[in-house]
């Protein structure tokens, strides 16, 4: 049951809204399973491994579903690593990616026996050499390459072009490999890439893939005998409104040649594809407003709950729960769906034709299972929403709504600082004036 079907289950949504409150994220575990199995099926012609990209949705309930399915995890911080471990992912089944891994993050993941660290720079390789030598532990590394390929995704989510911060530029890779070869304890197991997100046209994978195949041959010619995998990253585009999704079969046709031509296991790191359309955000209409020819529906959800429309101009399907979908055009009104946050950029949908929503009505926003809650914040001191998982005929709160107390955890007033004798002397810090 994807998000669109979930929206049709009016009584269930009303129950959840009543019991868990709004705004609330709702994820359908069944949809995640369906997506995972379709991908595995499509890739079955070659040895492969799916590492779920935790940044898309790190809810422990959702992570448990992927763990049960047998996925590995792709993490980008120690926080995501800890989440993955909490639901039972073995460290060996985790890939650590990211352009700015901190020393403490590298140390901790190496100590715990992480499966693969995708190195992005010579400096990072240096840190790993030191850590491995100090801990006397083997470290499995991959090199994330920047293959210099453009995608048609939003500019903020393109990562595979030469002028982006991500990956090691192609011309620098062999040098990095030579360095890695000289470092005891390091084992180069993977060559990888990640081209960007919401990619609907498989051509970018084909173009970049052939560069990776050439590169693997050159890497081997340097004497590397430890390669095990070729990692094509994530990025599979899904259908939000009317775009055509990148279907698993088309994706597989574009990337399986990499495995065949190199004889390596194919690693993939999907996030959005697995969870995006498993999620809806349920919110209540608080007010209706009219201003200079514009009509607004003010919800109790806002840009702090779902940032994608404000940040990327992303379009998510929005529906008034229980309103007849087939209601005639004249029964609808053109409205902006906005939230209570004090920014003009706080909108969840603009110029939408919807059946009139009165205060108290429930609205459902689809396609928010990926990069919805995970990008939410407490801006305007708004406690973050609850998260609910539906599994077959059952549902449960998998993350309770944040409380007002949660908002201030770890903070203190000046009186409390005084009482704790926590002031430090600014003059005690040494500094040089320029
Ligand atoms: N692997 C790496 C190294 C990544 O950086 C990402 C996403 C993925 C895998 C998973 O990509 P996916 O399959 O989900 O496309 N906040 C943006 C998306 C940013 C994606 C960042 N990296 C959005 O809401 O569209």
pLDDT, tens digit, for every residue of 52-81? 999 999 999 999 999 999 999 999 999 999
Which of 51, 52, 53 to probe ligand 1 with, by most ligand atoms within 8 A of CB?
53
Whether residues 319 and 353 share a domain: the answer is: yes
Whether residues 300 and 250 share a domain: the answer is: no
Whether residues 295 and 320 share a domain: the answer is: yes
How far apart are the CA of 273 and the centre of ligand 1, in A? 10
Q: How far apart are the first and last CA of the chain?
A: 62
Confidence bin at 157 (pLDDT 50/70/90): confident
How far apart are the CA of 221 and the centre of ligand 1, in A? 32
DSSP H or E stretch at residue 418: helix 414-419
How far apart are the CA of 286 and the centre of ligand 1, in A? 33
Whether residues 111 and 243 share a domain: the answer is: yes
Verify whether ligand 1 is closer than 6 Å to residue 233 (CB atom). yes
Q: Is the pTM of this model over 0.85?
A: yes
pLDDT at 326 over 60: no
Whether residues 282 and 332 share a domain: the answer is: yes
pLDDT at 299 over 60: yes
Location of structure tokens 């011309």: 171
How far apart are the CA of 235 and the centre of ligand 1, in A? 6
Range of weakest confidence among 5-14, 354-363, 397-406: 5-14
Q: Which of 278, 265, 210 is nearest to 95 (CA)?
A: 265
Rounded Cα distance between 210 and 376, Å, is 37
Tell me if 12 sits within 8 A of 392, measured CB to CB: no
Verify whether ligand 1 is closer than 6 Å to residue 308 (CB atom). yes
pLDDT at 127 over 80: yes
Rounded Cα distance between 407 and 336, Å, is 29
Whether residues 110 and 245 share a domain: the answer is: yes
Work out which ligand 1 atom sits closest to the CA atom of 97.
3
Whether residues 151 and 260 share a domain: the answer is: yes
Q: What is the mean pLDDT of residues 39-48?
A: 98
Tell me if 395 sits within 8 A of 388, measured CB to CB: yes
Work out which ligand 1 atom sits closest to the CA atom of 271.
14
Quick one: three-class SS letters along 16-37? Answer: HHHHHCCCEEEEEHHHHHHHHH
Where do the DSSP E strands lie in 257-393?
A: 265-268, 279-291, 294-299, 318-320, 332-338, 347-355, 362-366, 386-391
**Angstrom distances, CA of residue 207 to CA of 143, 186, 203:** 18, 30, 6
How far apart are the CA of 228 and the centre of ligand 1, in A? 23
pLDDT, tens digit, for every residue of 87-96? 999 999 999 9
pLDDT at 328 over 70: no
Verify whether ligand 1 is closer than 6 Å to residue 271 (CB atom). yes
Domain final residue pick, 268, 299, 327: 268
Tell me if 79 sits within 8 A of 54, measured CB to CB: no
Confidence bin at 47 (pLDDT 50/70/90): very high
Work out which ligand 1 atom sits closest to the CA atom of 371.
24
Total count of domains within the chain: 2
Whether residues 234 and 285 share a domain: the answer is: no
Domain final residue pick, 268, 293, 317: 268
Which of 234, 243, 270, 311 to probe ligand 1 with, by most ligand atoms within 8 A of CB?
234
Whether residues 294 and 190 share a domain: the answer is: no
How far apart are the CA of 138 and the centre of ligand 1, in A? 28
The two structure tokens encoding residue 169:
């530029």
Q: What is the pLDDT of residue 329?
A: 67
Q: Which residues pair with 81 in a beta bridge?
A: none
Whether residues 115 and 205 share a domain: the answer is: yes
**Residue 64 placed within a domain:** no
* DSSP, res 226: -
Q: What is the pLDDT of residue 8?
A: 87
Verify whether ligand 1 is closer than 6 Å to residue 23 (CB atom). no
Whether residues 249 and 330 share a domain: the answer is: no
Domain final residue pick, 268, 298, 325: 268
Which of 269, 312, 377 to probe ligand 1 with, by most ligand atoms within 8 A of CB?
269
Q: What is the mean pLDDT of residues 422-432?
A: 81
Q: What is the pLDDT of residue 7?
A: 85
Verify whether ligand 1 is closer than 6 Å to residue 371 (CB atom). yes
pLDDT, tens digit, for every residue of 313-322? 999 999 999 9
Work out which ligand 1 atom sits closest to the CA atom of 159.
5
How far apart are the CA of 307 and the centre of ligand 1, in A? 15
Confidence bin at 224 (pLDDT 50/70/90): very high
Verify whether ligand 1 is closer than 6 Å to residue 96 (CB atom). no
**Residue 219 placed within a domain:** yes
**Residue 118 placed within a domain:** yes
Q: Which of 243, 275, 252 is nearest to 34 (CA)?
A: 275
The rounded mean pLDDT for the chain is 95
- The set of catalytic residues is 342
Q: What is the pLDDT of residue 431?
A: 65
Tell me which residue range forms the domain holding 168: 98-268
Whether residues 217 and 172 share a domain: the answer is: yes
Q: CA angle, 281 as apex, 279 and 286 as ends, to 5°? A: 170
Verify whether ligand 1 is closer than 6 Å to residue 269 (CB atom). yes
333: domain CATH number is 2.40.37.10
Q: Which residue minimizes the CA distance to atom 5 of ligand 1?
A: 194
């Amino acid at each position: 049951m994807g998000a669109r079907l979930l929206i049709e289950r009016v009584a269930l949504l009303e129950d959840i809204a009543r019991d868990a409150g709004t705004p609330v994220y709702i994820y359908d575990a069944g949809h995640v399973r369906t997506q995972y199995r379709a991908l595995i099926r499509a890739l079955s012609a070659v040895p492969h491994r799916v590492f779920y990209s935790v940044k898309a949705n790190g809810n422990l309930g959702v992570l448990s579903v992927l763990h049960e399915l047998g996925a590995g995890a792709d993490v980008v911080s120690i926080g995501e690593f800890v989440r993955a471990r909490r639901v039972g992912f073995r460290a060996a089944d985790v890939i650590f990616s990211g352009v700015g891994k901190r020393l403490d993050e590298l140390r901790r993941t190496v100590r715990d026996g992480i499966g693969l660290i995708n190195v992005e720079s010579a400096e990072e390789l240096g840190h790993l050499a030191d850590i491995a030598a100090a801990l006397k532990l083997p470290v499995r590394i991959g090199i994330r390459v920047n293959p210099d390929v453009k995608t048609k995704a939003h500019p903020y989510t393109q990562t595979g072009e030469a002028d982006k911060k991500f990956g090691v530029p192609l011309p620098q890779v062999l040098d990095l490999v030579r360095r890695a070869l000289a470092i005891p304890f390091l084992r180069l197991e993977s060559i990888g890439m990640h081209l960007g997100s919401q990619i609907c046209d498989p051509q970018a994978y084909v173009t970049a893939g052939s560069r990776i195949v050439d590169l693997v041959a050159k890497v081997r010619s340097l004497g590397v005998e430890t390669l095990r995998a070729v990692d094509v990253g994530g990025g599979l585009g899904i259908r939000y409104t009317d775009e055509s999704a990148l279907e698993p079969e088309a994706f597989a046709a574009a990337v399986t040649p990499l495995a065949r031509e190199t004889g390596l296991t194919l690693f993939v790191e999907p996030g959005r594809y697995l969870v995006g359309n498993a999620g809806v955000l349920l919110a209540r209409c608080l007010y209706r407003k009219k201003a200079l020819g514009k009509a607004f529906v003010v919800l109790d959800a806002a840009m702090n709950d779902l940032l994608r429309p404000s940040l990327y101009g992303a379009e998510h399907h929005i529906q008034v729960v229980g309103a007849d979908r087939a209601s005639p055009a004249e029964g609808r009104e053109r409205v902006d769906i906005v939230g209570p946050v004090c920014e003009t950029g706080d909108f969840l949908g603009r110029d939408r034709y919807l059946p009139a929503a009165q205060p108290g009505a429930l609205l459902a926003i689809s396609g928010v299972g990926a990069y919805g809650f995970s990008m939410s914040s407490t801006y305007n001191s708004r406690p973050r929403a609850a998260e609910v998982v539906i599994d077959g005929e059952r549902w449960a709160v998998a993350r309770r709504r944040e409380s007002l107390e949660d908002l201030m955890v770890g903070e203190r007033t000046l009186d409390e600082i005084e009482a704790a004798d926590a002031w430090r002397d600014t003059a005690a810090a040494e500094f040089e004036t320029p």
